[in-house]
Amino acid sequence: MRKIIHTTTWLIIALFLISACGTVGMTNQQSEADRKATTTSGTTDKVEVSLIRIVDGDTIKVNYNG
């Protein structure tokens, strides 16, 4: 019985250490993606368009320049 508790304790410690190593790599990947963010031309000009229809929650169809 004591051997089972000892083995289980080491298994839990090993899993904890392995899972902690995995989170460090994910943080570095996210910051790398932030560094490669796309920039725009910086224009704030507005163009008049007419709404044709709403396709779904984040997509619309508009009429631009005729």
**How do the domains of the chain map onto residue ranges?**
1-36
Give the phi and the psi of residue 60 in degrees, each rounded to 5: -130, 160
pLDDT of residue 59: 94
Q: List b or e across 15-51, with b for residues whose CB sees 16 or more CB atoms inside 10 angstroms.
A: eeeeeeeeeeeeeeeeeeeeeeeeeeeeeeeeeeeee
Question: Which residue is associated with the tokens 């631009």?
Answer: 64
Contact between 64 and 50 under an 8 Å Cβ cutoff? The reply is no
Separation between Cα atoms, residue 36 and residue 54, nearest integer Å: 32
Global pTM? 0.33
pLDDT in tens, the chain (66 residues): 788 888 999 999 988 888 766 655 555 555 666 666 667 777 778 889 999 999 998 999 999 987
